[in-house]
A and B are shown apart, each in its own frame.
Chain A
Amino acid sequence: KQEVTQIPAALSVPEGENLVLNCSFTDSAIYNLQWFRQDPGKGLTSLLLIQSSQREQTSGRLNASLDKSSGRSTLYIAASQPGDSATYLCGYDKLIFGTGTRLQVFP
């Protein structure tokens, strides 16, 4: 059974901290992996996409890495801000998603 696990399930940090969100998956033959942000009652916003041939992608304060052999991806958020508060989900190949990490950044 294909599964995606995200750790931690919830995270509450003060503003300014650097964060690491973890995503592990059981299927090593993935095509690509995406990180998304979901605000309450809203759809998903794509943050970063890493193709299977890539090791990492960066966008602003966000950096995502991918290690297919170990079935892991990490999302690094630098200098966190209150506006980063949301649920972060990883998913691969359009079909399989984790349950997310609920992040709260307080001032």
Chain B
Amino acid sequence: GAVVSQHPSWVICKSGTSVKIECRSLDFQATTMFWYRQFPKQSLMLMATSNEGSKATYEQGVEKDKFLINHASLTLSTLTVTSAHPEDSSFYICSAQSTGPTGELFFGEGSRLTVL
């Protein structure tokens, strides 16, 4: 299947700093990528839909100024957690949608963020 690379896989930062997470589709182009947040033993919560060349669409309750999303190319989307606080600590996962007829989703390996 298609490969989606997410980096970094884990990051520890101090409260108040900003952290950038990258999501790359390695062997296909993805006009649409998705960012999720997952708490322990819970399902994925969609945060936003990232469309190449346009502004991201955020889900209700997700602060767009807090979670900045940029999708500057067909293979890269970034999520920046600005002024991170301990409550932002979580597992963040991205997915990229295949442009084929099925629209299958392929997921990155996730990024574990810990804010001290």
Interface residues of A (CB under 8 A from B): 4, 31-32, 34, 36, 41-46, 49, 51, 89, 91, 94-95, 97-100
Contacts and interface: CB of A to CB of B under 8 A. Distances in A.
A21 B33 CA distance: 28
Contact of A41 (B41, B104, B110): B110
Given A41-B110, A43-B6, A43-B110, A94 B105 contact: yes
B44 interface: yes
Interface stretch (B66-74, B78-86, B95-103): B95-103
Interface of B: 1, 4, 6, 34, 41-44, 46, 91, 93, 95, 97, 102-110, 112
A88 to B, nearest CB: 12
A45 B107 CA distance: 7
Given A94-B34, A100-B43, A49 B110 contact: no
B43 A97 contact: yes
B89 to A, nearest CB: 14
A27 to B, nearest CB: 14
